Homo-oligomer: A and B are copies of this chain.
Amino acid sequence: MQVMTYKTKGVIEYVNIEESDGRYLAEPLAADHDIPLFDRSPYDGFAIKASENDVSGVNLLIVDEIGAGEVSPHILQEGEAIRIMTGAQIPNGADCVIMLEDVEEITSGGYRFIKPKINVKKGENISFRGEELKSGHHLVDNGTVVTPGVKALLATFGYAKVPVVRKPVVSIIATGTELLDIHEPIQPGKIRNSNGYMIESQVIKAGAIPYRISVSEDRLETILEKVEESLVSSDILITTGGVSVGDYDLLPEIYEKLGANVLFNKIAMRPGSVTTVAELNGKLLFGLSGNPSACFVGFELFARPILRHWLHSDKPFLQQRQAYLCSSFEKPNTFTRFIRGRYIYDDGKIKVSTVGLDKSSTVSSLAWADCLICLPGGDSSFKVDELIDTIDLNDQIGSVHPWTEVK
């Protein structure tokens, strides 16, 4: 994808582990010590020395007791037993553990003994050093998001400070004289600015920082001024609206005035055919459509991969997966279509249904969609139960492959 030519990787910063949730690792994570670090008991029981003879029925003298976190100074000999708790280190001299329920405890002559009810073999009931992980073992790639499981690993390996990628700062400018600020009452002919807030939320979900939502009327000087200011204070700029061919669509003129390199300003897809991407001094300017759904799709397909690459992912694209259509699309379309859908899981099959109306101006269906249904452009119609490609909007794993149908 042409946009990816201008991808950049973010720099590293360190945050306290407590604040690392949802951040992206700037370094791969490897085990810096064996897990377990020492031979340990997986059960409550007694550490003993396995004998060539049976231990079953033989009295073994209890010589010590080890709680988890404790270490016995005793070197265990044949005929002895040491009480051991789950997770505690196997004492020197012992080579197996007999579980609590498999012994009888006896007190005799002021001494305490166990009498095993069964035999145990050398090595039995021991979690050996390095059994789970060897020191140096690669655990997770850089670019991985910190989840509960990853955080557990970070804690295990002592990452009090976690190396994460500095978040890219994304300025958002919603353009359009018809846009009302969220605080303003509804007025004839006007609509509230929803795109700015939606993109803000998409930016956050992608792992970046939205810089500010600025609304601009369709006046060249006003937009130009805001764009220039944004280019100073942020890493990436997203505008919504003003990219079509109408008399008030000023972005093309702005790119020209800035001397920006327009990568493309039309794309054979619906919604979002007027999506524009330009580049200036290595910074990307995404000119998304003013129509909510087109704006949404344009962000996910073009801006998100740039943000994820910044965050060190080598799989910056949303995962695609095949699903069975729940409704047909009889009318062919020359454009590749991305239709808001929702997955339905049914007996091991993935199906996908459309949500709400699917006009590009439709904001309501975006709240319910968890995927995009991808219908390639051309002469084909699409039937119920046909297997088609979809894009998972909640995917966190990512893919190395962009949606190849388009561009």
Q: Are A158 and B192 in touch, CB under 8 angstroms?
A: yes
Given A158-B192, A191-B87, A396-B394, also A198-B69 (CB < 8 A)? no
Report the stretch among A52-60, A104-112, A365-373, A375-383 that lies at the interface. A365-373
Looking at the assembled complex, report how far the CB atom of A226 sits from the nearest CB atom of chain B, in whole angstroms.
Answer: 17
Q: Does A7 contact B (CB under 8 A)?
A: no
Choose among B85, B182, B396 the residue that contacts A246 (Cβ–Cβ < 8 A): B85
Q: Are B69 and A179 in touch, CB under 8 angstroms?
A: yes
Q: Are B152 and A195 in touch, CB under 8 angstroms?
A: yes
Name the B residues within 8 Å of A345 (CB-CB): 319, 321-322, 350
Looking at the assembled complex, report how far the CB atom of A207 sits from the nearest CB atom of chain B, in whole angstroms.
Answer: 12
Name the B residues within 8 Å of A258 (CB-CB): none
Name the B residues within 8 Å of A178 (CB-CB): 67-70, 87-88
C-alpha spacing A214/B12, complex, angstroms? 29
Name the B residues within 8 Å of A367 (CB-CB): 139-140, 144, 147, 149-150, 152-153
Q: Are B201 and A69 in touch, CB under 8 angstroms?
A: no
The prevalent SS among residues of A at the interface is: loop
Name the B residues within 8 Å of A85 (CB-CB): 246-248
Q: Are A248 and B67 in touch, CB under 8 angstroms?
A: yes
C-alpha spacing A193/B159, complex, angstroms? 11
C-beta contact mask, A169-187 vs B, less than 8 Å → 1, else 0?
0000000111100110110
Q: Are B244 and A44 in touch, CB under 8 angstroms?
A: yes
| Contact size range, A | 35 or more
Given A87-B191, A153-B364, A364-B133, also A247-B67 (CB < 8 A)? yes
C-alpha spacing A334/B127, complex, angstroms? 23
Choose among B42, B192, B366, B396 the residue that contacts A148 (Cβ–Cβ < 8 A): B366
Name the B residues within 8 Å of A218 (CB-CB): 67-68
Which residues in window 46-73 of A have CB below 8 A to B?
Answer: 65-71
Q: Does A234 contact B (CB under 8 A)?
A: no
Name the B residues within 8 Å of A190 (CB-CB): 69
Name the B residues within 8 Å of A196 (CB-CB): 155
Q: Are B348 and A177 in touch, CB under 8 angstroms?
A: no
Name the B residues within 8 Å of A197 (CB-CB): 17-18, 151-152, 154-155
Q: Does A349 contact B (CB under 8 A)?
A: yes
29 pairs across A/B with beta carbons < 8 Å?
Answer: A35-B363, A36-B361, A44-B246, A67-B177, A68-B177, A70-B189, A85-B246, A87-B178, A89-B188, A132-B362, A133-B364, A139-B364, A139-B367, A148-B198, A148-B199, A149-B367, A149-B369, A151-B197, A151-B201, A152-B201, A154-B197, A155-B192, A155-B196, A156-B191, A156-B192, A158-B182, A158-B185, A322-B347, A348-B349
Query: Closest 6 CB pairs between A and B?
Result: A69-B178, A149-B366, A149-B367, A152-B198, A69-B177, A68-B178
Extra 7 A-B pairs, beta carbons < 8 Å, given A155-B198, A156-B194: A68-B218, A71-B188, A132-B361, A147-B367, A149-B296, A158-B182, A370-B397
